[in-house]
Amino acid sequence: MMGLRSVGILATGSYMPERVLTNFDLEKMVETSDEWIVTRTGIRERRICSPEQASSDLAYEAAKKALAKANISAEELDMIIVATVTPDMPFPSTACILQEKLGAKKASALDVSAACTGFLYGIATGSQFVANGMYRYVLVVGVETLSKITNYEDRNTCVLFGDGAGAALLGPVAEGYGFRAFELGADGSGSSLLCQPGGGSRIPASAESVGQNLHYISMAGKEVFKFAVRVMNSATEAVLEKSGIHKEEIDLLVPHQANKRIIDAAIQRFGLSEDKVAINLDRYGNMSSASIPVALDEALEEGRLKEGDNVILVGFGGGLTWGATLCKWSTNEHV
CA distances from 121 to 61, 128, 203 (A): 21, 11, 26
Residue 236 near residue 180, CB atoms below 8 Å: no
Catalytic residue among 49, 116, 158, 195: 116
88 within 8 A of 55, measured Cβ to Cβ: yes
Known catalytic membership, residue 215: no
In the set 256, 259, 280, 310, the catalytic residue is 256
Q: How many CB atoms lie within 10 A of CB 275?
A: 7
DSSP letters, 65-97, are HHHHHHT--GGG--EEEEE-SS-SSSSS-HHHH
Active-site position among 158, 286, 310, 327: 286
116 is catalytic: yes
Evaluate whether 117 touches 286 at the Cβ level (below 8 Å). Answer: no
Residues in CB range of 147: below 8 A, 6 or more apart: 48, 49, 161, 162, 163
Q: Which positions are catalytic?
A: 116, 256, 286
